[in-house]
A and B are shown apart, each in its own frame.
Chain A
Amino acid sequence: MQSDIFAKRKKDSLIFFFLLILLTVGSVVITQYDVSKGFTSLLKAFIWGGSNFYPDGKSLTILPDVLRKLWDTILMSIAATTVATVFATLLALVGSRTTRMNRLFSLVARGIASLFRNIPLVAWAMVLMLAFSQSSITGYLALFLGSFGFLTRAFIETIDEVSNDSVEALSATGASYFHIIFQSVLPSSLPQMISWILFMIDTNIRDATLVGLLTGTGIGFSFDLYYKSFNFHAASLVVILIVITVILIEMVSNTIRRVIM
């Protein structure tokens, strides 16, 4: 019996590793990934980074301009998140099992959320750019649409998890649908929802770099500008500022989370 267990375990892990190797080889072939180049370039990149990718005295002159772009990016991320929050909350109330009005609407709401969430951010950005061209509105709308899908799903899960019991109690007292939403569902879910909002702002600032790169706005555009003109000292300054911003926002978020949860 015992040897059986060991044999089975051995067989399982053999199959697992065989599949892993198969998938790896398949992926390497299909993506034309050059394994040796991967390793050598990693080393090369570190050497290059050490000798080029740091801010020097001259790059500090761009600081005011970059800071202004950074501020714009932060504002854009916050605005996209808060506006998305409003719409996502409404859709999540329709979609959640606890608060839905009927099964059909709930299904539709969940479908919309899933659709929005799975359309990649770059697709939103590229399509919006066709009509809005390279402007900050494009970036803002792309972030808004992406955040909307993500937050709706997160809020639906939050509401489902948090508020079942008290909803039952309130409807037993004769409270109406809106009473229950405002007196039970929202107060119970608010801390968790705020936690998601903070997470979304943080994510959006990082995604704004990507969107900015495509749509020529904000901090992503700054980076692209210096990167493409081989001004790597300036580009590294941009990266450092982004890192500081993201870490600061994360620290503030964690402090807020500790207080409210």
Chain B
Amino acid sequence: MKKIEEAILPVKPLTRESLTMWILLLVLSLLTIYALAAIDYTSVDMGKAMADTLNNFKTIFFHPAAHRLSLWDAFYEVLITMGLAFLTTLFGGVIAMLLGLLAAQNLAPKQVTNIIKGFVAFIRAVPSILWVLIFAVAAGLGSVAAVIGLTFHSVSYLTKAYSESFEELDRSVIEALMASGANWWQIIFQAVIPSSVSSLLSWTFMRFEINFANAVAMGAAAGAAGIGFDLFMDSGFYFDLREIGLVTYFIIAFAIVLETISTNLKSKILIKKA
């Protein structure tokens, strides 16, 4: 009899895991409903704005054209954005290399890794646009502020990625080298970096992809040079939808190339891990 009762009990057991998930989803849905209800819809004519936006997108995607910029100009502007992204990634990579070594649990004492990790978490919590704007007070708006400001987030991202790559090196290898009398720097340059160089490069490239997108954003929001600034001018000052289309296509084309490369690199890292 007891068994029959048990069988009629619900099939879905309420475990801690599923309870957490359902509560989370419920809370998020309620907050969403509240948020959507609280939006002030009266300030704009929703129907008209939606229709206008659709029309705008139609113009942007189906009738791109060059007015102010020539095709070569647009290409050159993308190159500038690429340049900003490259410098950001380079500076970030150099600093992160040092911090990554100090944040790797197999290479540095626990107190040090904790300090570095806390520092990195703080950097990440400040939106990158704010880093740029804060630096713009001292350096003025432009490429210097953009590069230095964006470098902060690159450092944070790459430190985490690098330290995890370093941690993959077996402790026993380090022990063996230590036993043979090698010092810390020798171990770093002869064992740690050579064995993780390919994943370091992959992570760096993936950050380059993110930095490209960020550099576009900084062009628009912080007056840094490059294609992002053109986007800002075309939409904010000239209201030139067709040129926005051209600029957007340029950005997408480059972004997709970068995305494809970094997807390939990522799957290679995953294969190596498995």
Q: Do A and B come from one complex?
A: yes
List chain A positions with a Cβ less than 8 A from chain B: 20, 23-24, 26-28, 30-34, 37-38, 41-42, 44-45, 48-49, 53, 75-76, 78-79, 81-83, 114-115, 117-123, 126-133, 135-137, 140, 190-191, 194, 197, 206-207, 209-210, 213-214, 220, 223, 227, 232, 239, 242-243, 246-247, 250, 256, 259-260
Residues of B contacting A126 in the complex (Cβ-Cβ under 8 angstroms) = 220, 231-232, 235-236, 244
B49 in contact with A131 (CB, 8 Å): yes
The minimal Cβ–Cβ distance linking A206 to chain B, given in whole angstroms, is: 4
Which stretch from B2-10, B97-105, B125-133, B169-177 is at the chain A interface?
A: B125-133
| Cβ contact within 8 Å between B134 and A45 | yes
Which residue, of A24, A127, A223, A256, has the highest number of chain B Cβ atoms within 10 A? A127
A-B contact pairs, 19 of them (CB 8 A): A27-B84, A32-B225, A41-B135, A41-B144, A45-B138, A75-B38, A78-B28, A120-B228, A123-B244, A126-B231, A127-B235, A129-B235, A131-B53, A132-B49, A132-B53, A243-B122, A243-B125, A246-B124, A259-B17
Cβ of B46: which chain A residues have Cβ within 8 Å of it?
137
CA–CA, A31 and B236, complex, Å: 23
Interface size class of B (residues with CB under 8 A): 35 or more
Q: Is the interface of B mostly helix, strand, loop or mixed?
A: helix
4 new A-B contacts, CB < 8 A, other than A194-B25, A259-B17, are A79-B35, A119-B252, A130-B56, A227-B133
Chain B residues with CB under 8 A of A133: 43-44
Contacts of B127 in A (CB 8 A): 206-207, 209-210, 242
What separation, in Å, do the CA atoms of A256 and B255 have in the docked complex? Answer: 33
B 135-162 to A, binary, CB cutoff 8 A, 1 in contact else 0? 1011100011101100000000000000
Q: Which of B50, B213, B236 contacts A120 (CB 8 A)?
A: B213
Is B239 in contact with chain A by the CB < 8 A criterion?
yes
Q: How far is the CB of A140 from chain B (nearest CB, A)?
A: 7
Chain A residues near B65 (CB-CB < 8 A): none
Q: List B contacts of A26 (CB < 8 A).
A: 83
| A-B CB pair tally, cutoff 8 Å | 211
Minimum CB–CB distance for B161 against chain A, Å: 15
Contact B259 A214 (CB under 8 A): no
A250 to B126, CA, bound (A): 13
A114 and B256 in contact, given A120-B228, A130-B239 (Cβ under 8 angstroms): yes
Q: Does B21 contact A (CB under 8 A)?
A: yes
Minimum CB–CB distance from A149 to chain B (whole Å) comes to 11
Residues of B within 8 A of A28 (CB): 83, 87
Evaluate contact between A130 and B35: CB separation under 8 angstroms: no
Cβ-closest 10 pairs across A and B: A41-B139, A27-B83, A45-B138, A131-B52, A126-B235, A79-B35, A118-B255, A75-B35, A246-B125, A122-B220
